[in-house]
Structure 1
Amino acid sequence: MRYAQPPPTKAATAVYVTLTAQVLSLGALVLFEQTRADRLAEQLAAFGGRPSGADAEAVVGAVTLFAVLIMLLAGTTIAAAAAYTTWLVRARQANDRTASSRPVVLAWMVPGVNLLAPALLLDEVWRGTRPPLDRRGRWLALLAAWWVSWLVMVALITVRLPLDSSGGLTGAGVAELAAFVVSAALCAATVRTVTRAQCSHGAGLRVVPRTTELPPSPESAPIGQAG
């Protein structure tokens, strides 16, 4: 039989934690946008983008806070991407220890291919756990919901925000936050489903260590030692 690695439960936990941190950081940025961004943008424009003097001291704190929020969002995004990639690589290797990490990288990084390949790759991992056939429909519905929500979120960020002229600093609002929360929740659900399926599948396997020596049968025992 093929020897595989244990289910990536710790890597899955890292995905949950980093996704939560990413949602919180985006929520903080959206809250700043809704309550302070318009006024800050006007003040910066009045100062020519370089606030100075006593009247600009209040602006410096807001600018610093905005910079911190941007860095937090960037940091949590990188952490979430790394955590998910690590989990997916280990999930594939939990089904087949010889599985390469290259398809995971190509599925997400190649333009055009990354519009569909990641979902197909995740479905391949799920099928590799050999789940009951009656769970197939439920899994496909969850997978499709996650991927559609992901594409919607990406479209809002890459298409709508650049065209938005409503003001503010980044343009991120409630619509982007809601789309991201839904996508993150569904992503975590797919990770949990696959990880639990691998744990259940692994628990049903009884692997005999290679070092185990079976006792000789009576027929194969040396003459005079049988019986």
Structure 2
Amino acid sequence: MRLAQAPPTKSANAVYVTLAAQVASLGALVVFEQVRGRHLAAEVAAVGGRPSGADADALAGAATAFAVLLLLVVTATVAAAIAYLTWLVRARQAVAPSYARSTVAAAWFVPGVNLIAPAVLVYETWQAAGPPEEGRRGRVALVASWWLSWLATLAVFTLVLPFDADGLTGLGVPELACLALTAALCAATVHQITALQRSPAVGRAASPAPVTTHLDPAT
């Protein structure tokens, strides 16, 4: 028999930090794009993409800064994804100790399934952490808002931005606002669930039987 795990407080803190880093790094890239990126793209195009001599010296610093900022965004995004998945696994196992990590991976990475399954996992984890009917509407509203904002942000970055690029990346305030809203709502769900799991009354209410979901693999 496996004992229930402790609430994933440290994992939640990692989510907050990495989400903040993701938004901050994207904000820095957006500022660079607005201030220098569009001019840099035009200058590179003007010299045929192969600057030399004085042109190369003038563009090297800006190109390096762009590469560093882009690397920071990618690194922060990967770190945020790892931190979030780690938190979700531990939050699920806090209420269902036998819960399989592979189920979380399948929910996020199996095409088609990942359009709805992650939101279901988060909602069920939240529901299992406290009285089912208490604050149900609030849970549904917050999880739905987070997930819809995530899908909208994903669509902007993968479907809209590549065909509407202006400058080096095409990034601007709308893209930054989408990501910031999604990050804030994501952090809010993490905070609410983690805080509820840390409540002493929750452990007594949730311990008798592990919660299962239709996404759990058959045993």
Instruction: Report the TM-score, using the length of structure 1 for normalisation.
Output: 0.86
Residue 38, structure 1, aligned to residue 38, structure 2: yes
Structure 1: gaps (5+ residues): 207-227
Q: Distance in 2 between matches of 1:3 and 1:145?
A: 33
Are the equivalent residues in 2 in contact too, given 1:8–1:195 (CA < 8 A)?
yes
Are the equivalent residues in 2 in contact too, given 1:153–1:179 (CA < 8 A)?
yes
Q: Distance in 2 between matches of 1:204 and 1:183?
A: 30
Residue 188, structure 1, aligned to residue 159, structure 2: no
Please give the residue correspondences for 1:56-67 in structure 2 after superposition, counting only pairs within 5 Å. 56-67=56-67
Are the equivalent residues in 2 in contact too, given 1:95–1:129 (CA < 8 A)?
yes
Q: Distance in 2 between matches of 1:201 and 1:153?
A: 36
Q: Distance in 2 between matches of 1:204 and 1:116?
A: 28
Deviations 1:4-45 (Å, cap 9, x if unpaired)? Answer: 000000000000000000000000111111111111011111
Deviations 1:26-82 (Å, cap 9, x if unpaired)? Answer: 001111111111110111112221222023312100000000011000000000000
Residue 139, structure 1, aligned to residue 139, structure 2: yes
Cα offset, 1:203, TM superposition: 6.2
SS at match of 1:168: coil
Cα offset, 1:131, TM superposition: 2.8
Cα offset, 1:161, TM superposition: 0.6
Fraction of identical pairs, as percent: 57
Cα offset, 1:202, TM superposition: 5.8
Please give the residue correspondences for 1:7-46 in structure 2 after superposition, counting only pairs within 5 Å. 7-46=7-46
Q: Distance in 2 between matches of 1:84 and 1:9?
A: 12
Larger radius of gyration: 1
Q: Corresponding residue for 1:116?
A: 116
Structure 1 residues 95 and 201 mapped into 2: Cα distance closer, same or farther (>3 Å)?
farther
Superposed CA RMSD = 1.7
Are the equivalent residues in 2 in contact too, given 1:3–1:96 (CA < 8 A)?
no
Deviates more, 1:125-134 or 1:53-62: 125-134
Structure 1 residues 27 and 143 mapped into 2: Cα distance closer, same or farther (>3 Å)?
same
Are the equivalent residues in 1 in contact too, given 2:11–2:86 (CA < 8 A)?
yes
SS at match of 1:78: helix
Instruction: Report the TM-score, using the length of structure 2 for normalisation.
Output: 0.89
Are the equivalent residues in 1 in contact too, given 2:25–2:76 (CA < 8 A)?
yes
Q: Corresponding residue for 1:88?
A: 88
Are the equivalent residues in 2 in contact too, given 1:107–1:113 (CA < 8 A)?
yes
Structure 1 residues 116 and 16 mapped into 2: Cα distance closer, same or farther (>3 Å)?
same
